Chains A and B, each alone.
Chain A
């Protein structure tokens, strides 16, 4: 394999991206403009669909004459929209939260029952109450969780105290965030999916590029030179990974300008960009599959949507507003795992080495390489001069 050939073809592909207005628009401007417009107009999430919130509970209540914690947990379960997961300590619960297994963690303090008992003994005399605080940690990767869960908890506690409306209470719900993000929560929610979104349009560009080169005889011309298929494909993958990197940087710059400030370290940023780069490999693969079945560049544009739309609607921020059953289907597209991992990394503060991230990374790596391999195999097999 000669680096001279790979470098020359990579340089050529990058020049094409910069010099062809249509390519420049489709690869860089369109995703950014679209994401910006979509992000700006992204309103309510979830709609009227029935949802279930998974809440991790660390119950440290020591009990008293009444077992208040069990009562509140039963009340939450009775709402039918809360699914309780018990954890023995806060650390374990926090790990589950950071990996997206639960959407919130509620820590019931040791004096919770005592507090309720003190309230019931002297409901009209706050001076006699033992005040306590229920800590609530929320998943900042879920707009739904941050908006819906705190009122449900507060309402349940209020009802348990026998108050018809929220007045003075010995119970205080203190919310805490894993990630300190206080501006524009809608943007925060969709930001991870934006990185995935931008890269998806590479499918169309790869398909168009290969069919155009075939149509105008360039593919034949290159195949007549001593350039090997491996050298050619390597140059293509490097080119499009480079483009994906620029796309990710532009999307990040745009979201940063709009107020997105994930509290993560450099290593997490590097990992996130690496994830997007690996994901771009699958888009080269899908582009090659599209080029295989397309007879012209025009057909390639249309057919590329066979792969663009599922990746777009099932695996990016767009999918989050779809029904839960549709979201399950999303688990069959690589973009789902990229967005999921980026959400955990950027918003939930999950560690790179956490099991959920490693699993997503493994799924993305294996599936993307497999898609690329299938793309190369099909294109090579069915390419005709």
Chain B
């Protein structure tokens, strides 16, 4: 692995009696597309929240591009883009206005912003609907807009938490193509997904988390071969005893 973008060491997070993350140690290299897989409540989102500086860990450390996620969270926030699990957009703003708001929150210059906005809206298939209120968008369009909001600032590291949930196959493949393009640009991507074929298609490496613990780490091919299974779906079942399911 080349230079690390993310370094997690003995990370732990407890909520009263519940353990969300348990002694997690992990490194993600620069330009790597890393899949964080696990059933609901496994600790994936908590891990991402810690890396984004939203949640303080109970134990251990997490660093993003060399910056401590807790002590230097302001610096970390300048380098990352996050597509949250919720389809978080302002319904009363148009698609373009939502994008403009987040461009401003990242203090982007006008020329840079215009170029990037136009490129993202086109690639995500929202250029023609950009002036419509986002509240009127279909579920898939909202997810694509949410992804644009995460990537508008051209972040060095993108945290994409279930970015293709509720997308039609066409939209999903458009997103896949775009993520591959980001990878070619040496962007680091942390992807959580319930779609095992998505992880197999896109991820350089995957880490499987269950009950807050990292139970498997490697390239999809390595893990499939090592565990004598046919695909990640079967691997997941074998390791956790459960099938991975989408949240309602």
A residues sitting closer than 8 Å to B (CB atoms) are: 2, 4-5, 7-9, 11-12, 15-16, 19-20, 216-218, 220-228, 385
A12 touches B93 (CB 8 A): yes
A12 touches B54 (CB 8 A): no
A217 touches B86 (CB 8 A): yes
Q: Is B18 part of the binding interface, using a Cβ–Cβ cutoff of 8 Å? A: no
Q: Could you mark each residue 30-56 of chain B with 1 if its beta carbon is under 8 Å from any beta carbon of chain A, else 0? A: 000000000000000000010011110
Q: Pick the contact of A218: B53, B82, B90, B107 (CB < 8 A).
A: B90
Q: Is B149 part of the binding interface, using a Cβ–Cβ cutoff of 8 Å? A: yes
Q: Which 3 A-B pairs have the closest CB atoms?
A: A217-B86, A217-B88, A8-B104
B-side interface residues, number (CB < 8 Å):
30
Given A16-B92, A385-B55, residue A5 in contact with residue B82 (CB < 8 A) = no
A221 touches B149 (CB 8 A): yes
Contact stretch, chosen from B73-81, B176-184, B218-226, B234-242: B73-81
Q: Pick the contact of B77: A2, A15, A16, A224 (CB < 8 A).
A: A224
B90 touches A16 (CB 8 A): yes
Q: Is B198 part of the binding interface, using a Cβ–Cβ cutoff of 8 Å? A: no
Given A12-B90, A12-B93, residue A5 in contact with residue B84 (CB < 8 A) = no
A8 touches B88 (CB 8 A): no
Task: Kindly report which residue of chain A lies nearest to residue B153, judged by CB atoms.
Answer: A225
Chain B: minimal CB distance from A229 (Å) = 11
Task: Kindly report which residue of chain A lies nearest to residue B79, judged by CB atoms.
Answer: A226
Q: How far is the CA of A4 from the CA of B54 in the complex (A)?
A: 23
Contact stretch, chosen from B95-103, B114-122, B166-174: B95-103
Q: How far is the CA of A301 from the CA of B92 in the complex (A)?
A: 20
Q: Is B105 part of the binding interface, using a Cβ–Cβ cutoff of 8 Å? A: yes
Q: Pick the contact of A7: B55, B104, B149 (CB < 8 A).
A: B104
Q: Pick the contact of B80: A218, A224, A385 (CB < 8 A).
A: A224
B74 touches A223 (CB 8 A): no
Task: Kindly report which residue of chain A lies nearest to residue B53, judged by CB atoms.
Answer: A224
A218 touches B105 (CB 8 A): no
Q: Is B132 part of the binding interface, using a Cβ–Cβ cutoff of 8 Å? A: no
Task: Kindly report which residue of chain A lies nearest to residue B146, judged by CB atoms.
Answer: A221
Chain B: minimal CB distance from A190 (Å) = 34
Task: Kindly report which residue of chain B lies nearest to residue A6, judged by CB atoms.
Answer: B104
A4 touches B104 (CB 8 A): yes
Given A8-B100, A12-B93, A15-B97, residue A227 in contact with residue B88 (CB < 8 A) = no
A221 touches B84 (CB 8 A): yes
Q: Is B106 part of the binding interface, using a Cβ–Cβ cutoff of 8 Å? A: yes
Q: Pick the contact of B102: A2, A15, A225, A228 (CB < 8 A).
A: A225
Q: How far is the CA of A228 from the CA of B97 in the complex (A)?
A: 21
Chain A: minimal CB distance from B75 (Å) = 9
B residues sitting closer than 8 Å to A (CB atoms) are: 49, 52-55, 74, 77-78, 80, 82, 84-90, 92-93, 97, 100-102, 104-107, 133, 149, 153
A217 touches B105 (CB 8 A): no
Q: How far is the CA of A225 from the CA of B52 in the complex (A)?
A: 9
B90 touches A217 (CB 8 A): no
Q: Pick the contact of B105: A5, A20, A216, A385 (CB < 8 A).
A: A5
Q: Pick the contact of A2: B82, B88, B107 (CB < 8 A).
A: B107
B104 touches A226 (CB 8 A): no
Q: How far is the CA of A385 from the CA of B88 in the complex (A)?
A: 13
Given A12-B93, A15-B93, A15-B97, residue A225 in contact with residue B88 (CB < 8 A) = no
- The interface residues of chain B lying within 8 Å CB-to-CB of A20 are 92
Chain B: minimal CB distance from A124 (Å) = 82
- The interface residues of chain B lying within 8 Å CB-to-CB of A19 are 92, 133
Q: How far is the CA of A15 from the CA of B133 in the complex (A)?
A: 12
A226 touches B90 (CB 8 A): no
Instruction: Write 15 A-B pairs (CB below 8 A) sorted by A numbering.
Output: A5-B107, A8-B104, A12-B101, A15-B93, A16-B92, A217-B88, A218-B89, A218-B90, A220-B88, A224-B52, A225-B77, A226-B105, A226-B106, A226-B107, A385-B55
Among the interface residues A20, A224, A228, which one has the most CB atoms of the partner chain B within 10 A? Answer: A224
Q: How far is the CA of A225 from the CA of B107 in the complex (A)?
A: 10
Task: Kindly report which residue of chain A lies nearest to residue B52, judged by CB atoms.
Answer: A224
- The interface residues of chain A lying within 8 Å CB-to-CB of B55 are 385
Chain B: minimal CB distance from A119 (Å) = 76
- The interface residues of chain B lying within 8 Å CB-to-CB of A218 are 88-90
Chain A: minimal CB distance from B201 (Å) = 27
B74 touches A228 (CB 8 A): yes
- The interface residues of chain A lying within 8 Å CB-to-CB of B78 are 226
Q: How far is the CA of A175 from the CA of B153 in the complex (A)?
A: 71
B86 touches A224 (CB 8 A): no
A221 touches B101 (CB 8 A): no
Question: Contacts A7-B104, A225-B102 given; 8 further ones with Cβ under 8 A?
Answer: A8-B105, A12-B97, A217-B87, A221-B88, A224-B52, A224-B77, A224-B82, A225-B77
Given A8-B100, A228-B74, A385-B55, residue A222 in contact with residue B90 (CB < 8 A) = no
A220 touches B107 (CB 8 A): no
